[in-house]
Amino acid sequence: MSISYKRHRFPAEIISYCVWLYYTFPLSFRDIQKMMLYRGIEVTYEAIRKWCRKFAQAYANHIRRHRPKPADK
């Protein structure tokens, strides 16, 4: 299963960056909204919240599948 970004206004890089910021650092959706605004990208905190709900589990599954196994060298 691949992650589909169809029918989203913003490119995949922006969506994944916002989700990464939210789950990596202790930031609120509004903090991320301000950070993106400083970079010239106007996105609402509600859009970021929806992206986090929609894509976070898919990102975690992808990372889990591709990490090295304990027996790998």
Residue 71 lies in a domain: no
Residue 1 lies in a domain: no
Residue 3 lies in a domain: no
More confident residue, 73 or 32: 32
Residue 68 to residue 55: CA distance in whole angstroms: 22
Residue 27 lies in a domain: yes
pLDDT at 68 over 60: yes
Q: pLDDT tens, 46-63? A: 999 999 999 988 887 877
Q: In terms of pTM, does the model score above 0.85?
A: no
More confident residue, 33 or 65: 33
Q: Which residue has the tokens 């591709």?
A: 66
Residue 14 to residue 19: CA distance in whole angstroms: 9
Q: What range defines the domain where residue 52 resides?
A: 12-66
Residue 5 lies in a domain: no
Burial class (CB in 10 A: 0-12, 13-18, 19+), 38: exposed
Please give the tally of structural domains in the chain. Answer: 1
Q: pLDDT tens, 17-49? A: 999 999 889 999 999 999 999 999 999 999 999
Residue 64 to residue 70: CA distance in whole angstroms: 13
Amino acid at 37: L
